[in-house]
Amino acid sequence: MDKPAPEPKAELAADLRPTARNKRFTVSVVALIPIIGAAAWFFSRPDPCRRMADTVCSLQGGNCSELYAAFETARGRIPADKCRDANHRLDEIQGMPDPLLKVTMASSIVSEVFGMEDTRKMLHDVLMSLSAIEIDLEKNRPPDEHVNQVLAFGPKACLPVLSRLRDAETGSAAKRVIHAILVKLNGTDLGEDPDSWKGWCSQVTAAEHRR
């Protein structure tokens, strides 16, 4: 059974107040909710589903090709009326002044549409722990507690871990720790190149999604 991440301590909570790092964390949650797939299904979906993805893309920013491809995961399972309901709820949060709250709520809305609330929570907790690891290293604190929080989720944590390893904003010290986490999750070192881990992580993620 997954162990929920404990509430951040007061000092850590202060470190995780809205910052550029925290924006990266919350946006990553939205981008990772759908598990990676191929793009063909998405572009054939009814307009409401395309609009939902467009809204998520606008919140994520940057190149959304992987996000659009990820919607393939739900092919044939998400009716247009679910997308319409999500669009209505996404419209309601557009006027929120706090961008972090807006992205977090969008994450929750889309995860409900995909029936992936447990996955969303795992992504949230793992990304929070990864952000805490970076803070630990910056403040010369041992990151062991937060490393163990990630490891407690087992191999299925590979997707957010690999995403953070790929992130250009992740420092070299944090990348070394994250690489060590991947080694422990897999049991074998597949190399320092993030691409060398993609096949294994895709298999783990697909198997988890089929459960």
Contact 108, 33 (CB under 8 A): no
Q: Which pLDDT does position 77 carry in this prediction?
A: 64
Cα separation, 205 vs 200, whole angstroms: 9
Between 172-186 and 144-151, two packed helices, what is the crossing angle to 10 degrees?
40
Distances (CA, A) of 204 to 125, 133, 157, 165, 207: 18, 24, 9, 17, 5
Say which DSSP state 195 is in. Answer: H
Whether pTM > 0.85 for this model: the answer is: no
Alpha carbons within 13 A on the beta-carbon side of 111: 20
Backbone region of residue 60 per phi and psi (left: phi > 0; alpha: psi in -120 to 50; beta: other values): alpha
Cα separation, 83 vs 15, whole angstroms: 36
Between 47-60 and 99-113, two packed helices, what is the crossing angle to 10 degrees?
150
**Token pair of 22 as six digits:** 């925290």
Residue 142, Cβ density class (10 Å: 0-12 exposed, 13-18 middle, ≥19 buried): exposed
Place of tokens 């964390």: 25
Cα separation, 105 vs 54, whole angstroms: 16
Residue 197, Cβ density class (10 Å: 0-12 exposed, 13-18 middle, ≥19 buried): buried
Per-residue pLDDT of the chain (211 residues; tens, 9 = 90+): 455 544 444 454 445 444 455 445 444 444 444 443 333 444 555 578 878 888 877 776 656 666 666 665 555 567 788 888 989 999 988 887 766 567 667 777 877 777 777 777 888 888 889 999 999 999 999 999 999 999 999 998 988 898 888 888 889 999 999 999 999 999 999 998 988 998 898 788 767 655 6
Q: Which pLDDT does position 181 carry in this prediction?
A: 97
- Total Cβ atoms within 10 A of residue 191: 11
Task: State the virtual CA torsion across 53, 59, 63, 64 in degrees, nearest 10.
Answer: -20
